[in-house]
């Protein structure tokens, strides 16, 4: 029996509708939330992500602007740009599109972002708030994962959850969110011994390693919920046939575009898992939806003193 598909697009649409209602309330109070995106150079994948984010803002009424420093921008110049955005009252959120070029001190630039405008949730103050269960801005992809679980009515409390990947962007904050929701959490990584056996314990398995099809049936407990954060491009015919031979829908996409996207999870896992997120159409749409949520949250937190009604629950 095939797993239930957890439709990220549908859940993201629900969240955007809720955000739109909040924006209408903010606009009635004289507030228009603003998001500034910083895109360095001309990284094709990053440019696509930024266009998606800007389009999402436009659709729901968030003011957005994109800043495009040249590829050879220095850390000093980028810090100066971020400081300028920090000072602008009409900007509620600042997003630095990663990766940044090698000459840039990424930690220095991220630390420069005002924590109150850190809609990515990467600043140590926001990380600390998440770890200690205080109000703050939570990284978008982990927040989206939690929304998928909750809105799909998948139990978290008391469940054994396992996160494969320990990045500061996805793995660690996802583990903290699951722990804050009373799951028993294990974090695995490249040094974990007998990874498949450890993964098979999980009622909820989240994978964010960036290796196409790495998680096969032997990694998955029958009936488990599998959240696939991986986003890997398959461009070689031999690799495509390895995963998708006979899949007519995928075949059409591959022939049309010359490539297709897949996650870290092998397609055969759908025959073992109880529920699974697809790639594309799973976690990805939630990441952008939660960016909208964070922008609204930042606007309300920042402007509560100016507009008292925003502080009301």
53 is catalytic: yes
Question: Can you tell me the distance from the alpha carbon of 283 to that of 169, in angstroms, rounded to the nearest whole number?
Answer: 14
Query: Which of 284, 293, 286 has its CA nearest to residue 57?
Result: 293
Residue with tokens 């990874």: 195
100 burial level (CB within 10 Å; 0-12, 13-18, 19+): buried
Of 114, 118, 120, 228, which residue is the catalytic one?
Answer: 120
| CA dihedral for 289, 280, 41, 108, sign (positive or negative) | positive
> Residues 6 or more apart from 61 whose CB is under 8 A from it?
20, 23, 24, 27, 32
Q: Cα dihedral angle (127, 13, 274, 276), rounded to 10 degrees?
A: -70
Question: Can you tell me the distance from the alpha carbon of 41 to that of 118, in angstroms, rounded to the nearest whole number?
Answer: 21
Question: Can you tell me the distance from the alpha carbon of 98 to that of 44, in angstroms, rounded to the nearest whole number?
Answer: 12
Residue 193's region, left for phi above 0, alpha for psi from -120 to 50, else beta, is: beta
118 is catalytic: no
Question: Can you tell me the distance from the alpha carbon of 276 to that of 216, in angstroms, rounded to the nearest whole number?
Answer: 13
Of 97, 114, 228, 297, which residue is the catalytic one?
Answer: 97
233 is catalytic: no
Q: Structure tokens of 17?
A: 């509708």
Question: Can you tell me the distance from the alpha carbon of 79 to that of 107, in angstroms, rounded to the nearest whole number?
Answer: 11
Kindly list the catalytic residues. 53, 97, 120
């Amino acid at each position: 029996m095939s797993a239930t598909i957890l439709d990220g697009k549908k859940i993201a649409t629900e969240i955007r509708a809720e955000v739109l209602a909040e924006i209408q309330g903010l606009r009635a109070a004289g507030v228009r939330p603003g998001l500034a995106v910083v895109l360095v150079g001309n990284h094709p994948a990053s440019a696509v992500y930024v266009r998606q984010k800007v389009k999402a803002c436009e659709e729901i009424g968030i003011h957005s602007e994109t800043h495009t420093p040249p590829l050879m921008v220095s850390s000093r110049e980028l810090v100066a740009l971020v400081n300028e955005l920090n000072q602008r009252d009409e900007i509620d959120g600042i997003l630095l599109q990663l990766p940044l070029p090698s000459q840039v001190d990424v930690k220095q630039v991220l630390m420069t972002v005002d924590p109150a405008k850190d809609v990515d949730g990467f600043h140590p103050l926001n990380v600390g708030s998440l770890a200690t269960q205080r109000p703050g801005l939570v990284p978008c992809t982990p927040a989206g994962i939690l929304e998928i679980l909750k809105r799909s009515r998948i139990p978290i409390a008391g469940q054994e959850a396992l996160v494969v990947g320990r990045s500061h962007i996805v793995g660690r904050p996802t583990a903290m969110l699951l722990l804050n929701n009373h799951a028993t959490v294990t974090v695995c990584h490249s040094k974990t011994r007998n990874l498949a056996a450890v993964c098979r314990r999980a009622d909820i398995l989240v994978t964010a390693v960036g290796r196409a099809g790495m998680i096969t049936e032997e990694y998955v407990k029958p009936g488990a919920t599998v959240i696939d954060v991986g986003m890997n491009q398959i461009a070689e015919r031999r690799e495509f046939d390895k995963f998708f031979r006979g899949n007519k829908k995928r075949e059409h996409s591959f022939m049309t575009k010359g490539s297709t996207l897949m996650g870290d999870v092998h397609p055969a896992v759908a025959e073992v898992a109880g529920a699974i997120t697809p790639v594309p159409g799973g976690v990805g749409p939630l990441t952008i939806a939660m960016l909208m949520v964070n922008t609204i949250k930042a606007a309300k937190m920042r402007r509560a003193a100016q507009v008292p009604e925003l502080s009301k629950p």
